[in-house]
Amino acid sequence: MDTDSQSPIRTLVWTDPVTVDRSASLRELSARLTEYGIGVAVVRDGPTSVGVVSERDVVASIAEGGDPDVVTVGDVMSRDVIGVPPDVRVFDVALRMVDENLRHLAVEEGGEIVGIVSIKDVTRVVTEDLLATWE
């Protein structure tokens, strides 16, 4: 199925999102984000999703004097995860991300984070739709 701005967001979701344990250090998190070339990871406490942590969280902690070998993911993660169900349209997700200044958004199903979508992903799809209307 070709994805367009009217498609459900599930078509863009990073399935099996990269996870990190809440006890990991920010240095460990940074290595994981770098390894996968991403900007956010789902935080786990055992098998349960308990939040998300982003590269911005790492930078903010270090800017405030945090030691990346001492500060843990659990110290800086976002617990109030902003998420959408997998059937929301790509276009609606794009609008929400712009309105709320989000670079990443969790896709949730059954109370669990099942994937992550980035503003880059949704912008590409919406831009392709817009360009198609100009042809």
Q: What is the mean pLDDT of residues 27-50?
A: 93
Q: Is 106 within 8 Å of 41 (Cβ atoms)?
A: no
Q: Which domain holds residue 42?
A: 9-134
CATH number at residue 62: 3.10.580.10
Asked if residue 25 is part of any domain, the answer here is: yes
Q: Is 41 within 8 Å of 20 (Cβ atoms)?
A: yes
How many structural domains does the chain have?
1
Give SS3 for 4: coil
Asked if residue 125 is part of any domain, the answer here is: yes
Asked if residue 3 is part of any domain, the answer here is: no
pLDDT score at 24 = 97
pLDDT at 80 over 90: no
Q: Which tokens in the block code for residue 99?
A: 């309105």
Q: What is the mean pLDDT of residues 7-14?
A: 86
Q: How far is CA 41 from CA 3, 17, 73, 117, in A?
A: 24, 7, 10, 11
Q: Tell me, what DSSP letter sits at residue 72?
A: B
Q: What is the mean pLDDT of residues 84-113?
A: 92
